[in-house]
Structure 1
Amino acid sequence: MRKIYSLLLAGSIVFAVSCQSGQKKAGEKSAQVEKTEAAPELNKLSAEETSNGWQLLFDGTTSTGWRGYNKTEFPKGWEIVDGTLHCIGTGTGEAGAENGGDIIYDKKFKNFDLKLDWKISKGGNSGIFYLAQEVKDWPIWKTAPEMQVLDNANHPDAQLGKDGNRQAGSLYDLIPAVPQNAKPFGEWNSIEIICFKGTVVYKQNGEKVLEFHLWTDDWKKMVAASKFPEYNKDWADVAKEGFIGFQDHGDDVWYRNVKIKNMD
């Protein structure tokens, strides 16, 4: 009898431990499910973003709001594909850019927080402009600061300039992005440009990479030592309000999730 009782007791203990283990595994699985969050929708604003004043500049399906720089229409060198603004590469670099041209959003901004994603092709080059002005017969870069978009590993511009100031995320030809955290060609990078009363901050893939201050003596000295005065002697006098634009450098580049918060 005592032997039977011992066997029953042992069986009860094994059963209890097994149940507890099963419950723990189920609980762990449940916790894992709770931690899994749905990926944010592309080219959409969350309810929080909308309530905080963010505006979508690209809806993912049309070119609404966008046109060619110094043009009234959306250029044929760009297309809307797979939820992106795609600049169609020509394989001839800057020479091929004449087939499409730079594009701008048809509204001027002054103080703002701009966010977007970009992806570049192998050996590709492009750029993000802001506070740009339209001047007849001029390219956009003669009037506006630029955040560089580049395949650092394969485009020679990454080795030119000074201290990496032509690499991705840099204030082109003026201030290098530090740290240099751009992802390789074919992968998406997220950026943020904050412009408020002359203070400009660049963020790339979640990290602040540079900061500078427009219209100051330091700004004017820095520009004077660059290549820009050769093309526009008044380049340092950046406008206080202007267009946001994307560069056609003759290479494939994709933009998406373009959104802005007006801070005026």
Structure 2
Amino acid sequence: MDSFETLSFDTPGAWAMAGQGRFISAGPGLLESEGGPGLLWYSLAEFSDFRLQVDWLAHALEDNSGVFFRFPTAELARKQPDWKAGFEVQIDERGVDPEHDTLGSPLHLTGALYTLAPAVLKASRPLGEWNTFDILAGGLDLRVVLNGVEVCTFTAPAHKPRAGRIGLQAHHPGSRVRFRAPRLQRL
């Protein structure tokens, strides 16, 4: 099995932004979302079967973000991504369901595959502390482990993409989620 490669934020041209939001430097090897909706995506390669580790930190209960994967390049090139084209692992401690204007939705809680598969447990650390997603994508089988606890499993329908880009979400003005450079192991 291959070792992990770091998808460094410091590699020139490795990351591109789509949408209104942005990511700013929060220190060496760290980025933080701000400014509104958008997707920072890794532009150097597409990935199919992998293990992806992403460290993230939320500052406030209202912070919201996500880790996208298997996202089609064509959508990104238009700079107006279809957010439902790939998969999103949710970061939202409140579990806001925008369609029903409710809180605590398992399909919207941290660790859920957004609107597809619920987070069955809350495994996040307290606000202001680092968390780690371990996302495994093998064929149609997807798993999300948060801080060593499996929180979501899902078998994707055959029409969903089996390869695509990796991305980090900027969500809404005022939302600040910090990320360390993701690490990826091809399977």
Measured against the shorter chain, the TM-score band is 0.7 to 0.9
- 1:63–1:207 CA distance, 2 compared to 1 (3 A): farther
- 1:108–1:167 CA distance, 2 compared to 1 (3 A): same
Q: Is 1:239–2:178 an aligned residue pair?
A: no
Q: Is 1:197–2:139 an aligned residue pair?
A: yes
Q: Which residue of 1 aligns with 2:24?
A: 79
Q: Which residue of 2 aligns with 1:171?
A: 113
Cα separation, 2, equivalents of 1:181 and 1:162? 14
Higher helix share: 1
Q: Which residue of 1 aligns with 2:16?
A: 67
Distance apart, 1:157 and its partner CA = 4.2
Aligned 1:24-39 pairs, distance under 5 A:
none
Q: Which residue of 2 aligns with 1:56?
A: 6
Matched to 1:87, the amino acid is S
| Paired-residue identity, % | 27
Cα separation, 1, equivalents of 2:93 and 2:146? 14
- 1:197–1:149 CA distance, 2 compared to 1 (3 A): same
Is the contact made by 1:69 and 1:140 (CA closer than 8 Å) also made in structure 2?
Answer: no
Aligned 1:1-264 pairs, distance under 5 A:
52-58=2-8, 61=10, 64-69=13-18, 77-82=22-27, 83-88=29-34, 90=35, 96-97=36-37, 101-106=38-43, 107-122=45-60, 123-133=62-72, 134-135=74-75, 136=78, 138-152=80-94, 156-157=96-97, 160=102, 163-215=105-157, 237-250=159-172, 251-263=175-187
Matched to 1:255, the amino acid is F
Q: Which has the larger radius of gyration?
A: 1
Distance apart, 1:168 and its partner CA = 0.4
Q: Which has the higher contact order (CA 8 A, sep 6+)?
A: 2
Distance apart, 1:151 and its partner CA = 3.1
TM-score, normalised via structure 1 length: 0.60
1:247 counterpart SS class: strand
